[in-house]
Amino acid sequence: MAIHYLERHQIDSTKWDTCIASNPHTENLFAYSGYLDIACDAWSALVLDDYVSIMPLPWRQKLGIYYIYPPFFLPSLGIFGKEIENEYFTSWVNAIPQKFQWIDLLLHENLYEGLQNFTGIWHKTFTLDCSLPYMELKKAYHKNHKRNCQKASEEGLSIVNNFSFSETINLFKENQAKMFKAGYKTADYKRLMHLLEYLQKNRQLKSYGVLDGNGTLCAAVLFPNLNGKYYFLFSGRNAASNQNRAMFLLLDTFIQQHAEEFCTLIFNGSDNLHIAKFYAGFGAIEKSLYQMQIARLHPLFQWAFNLYRKVR
């Protein structure tokens, strides 16, 4: 087994994408080269032999420090491909060049063994298997969710799919950005627009919005999708949606329209208690993602990590 480090210009995008697709269990829309090219400031990778398995490494440089970071709008990464042996995870981490003095990676749920050798943080995420009939899926809703879905259906709301990305982004910027301390800058919103345009061009995006009784968009969610995996990537809603329960109607409609399909709805990982409760209320199953954080700097420069997080 030989793990090689490659810079972006050395990576064969065709072989890379073929490797991602070779294992349906771990195939991840966000690990494809086209998405990484837009989502990351820069990225390189570890490659096992001739693209048997791969590990993308998004990176930045600030104040002379090279570091690997988790980009916005890129839910999780890790190792992908045909031969993923978790017990060899340490070998992959050790193969990351020493020039990267901080390593901060959010790993997909299939990586568990070997993580005990590294420091990090566990995050909650939720998934919903939509293969059952709708009425069976709805039975798993929490009582309050059933009640809110019923009330939303009485508010004169309507579902739409033909609104602009900028409308969703503006809903978020004007209502949730400060509340959730998202930390997005102007450049991040522009990057998000490019990602959404890329997904739409590749027919890998579904948009669901809710109009109130006045025809105003009050809630919207953008769902990137690939081979039956739908991701709750980005959403926005206004204050009125709290009263008319628009998000309950939106997700209930999505679930109803995708019931009995061999597909999975994957919610964003969230440690916010209220958001986690909202996801779980639709019968979604809680899972865990590990954010691995490794410091390679001399202890005297530990302050750099805090600085990195502020200037990210």
φ/ψ bin of 290: left (φ > 0), alpha (ψ from -120 to 50), beta (otherwise): beta
Note the pLDDT of residue 280. Answer: 94
Residue 180, pLDDT > 80, answer no
Whole-model pTM: value is: 0.91
> In terms of pLDDT, which residue wins out, 91 or 113?
91
Grade residue 307 by pLDDT with cuts at 50, 70 and 90.
low
Which has more pLDDT, 56 or 87? 56
pLDDT at 309 > cutoff 60: no
Residues of the chain with pLDDT > 70: what percent? 89
The one-character DSSP state at 273 is H
pLDDT at residue number 124: 87
At 289, list the tokens.
């993602």
Q: Each residue of 70-81: pLDDT tens digit?
A: 999 998 899 999
Q: What is the mean pLDDT of residues 117-141?
A: 91
Cα–Cα distance for residue pair 174/178, rounded to 1 Å? 8
Q: What is the DSSP string of 102-159?
A: EEEEEE-TT--TTGGGS-EEEEEEEEEE--S-HHHHHHTS-HHHHHHHHHHTTTT-EE
Residues 35 and 70 sit within 8 Å (Cβ to Cβ): no
| Average pLDDT rounded to a whole number, residues 9-37 | 96
Residue 271 pLDDT? 74
CA distance 160 to 29: 25
Do the Cβ atoms of 260 and 131 come closer than 8 Å? yes
Neighbour tally for 199: CB within 10 Å: 23
Residue with tokens 């800058």: 185
For the stretch 197-213, pLDDT in tens is: 999 999 999 999 999 99
Q: What is the pLDDT of residue 89?
A: 84
Go through the domains of the chain in sequence order and give each one's CATH number: 3-124+289-311 (3.40.630.30), 131-262 (3.40.630.30)
The lowest-confidence range among 170-174, 177-181, 211-215 is: 177-181
**Residue 156 or 177, more confident:** 156
Q: What percent of the chain has pLDDT above 90? A: 71
Return the closest-CA partner of residue 72 out of 225, 190, 219.
190
Mean pLDDT of 252-258: 97
Mean pLDDT value across the chain: 90
Residues 6+ apart with CB under 8 A from 164: none
pLDDT at 244: 93
User: Side chain identity at 291, as an amino acid letter?
Assistant: Q
Q: Which of 231, 226, 88, 212 is nearest to 159 (CA)?
A: 212
**Strand bridging mode 3-6 / 42-48:** antiparallel
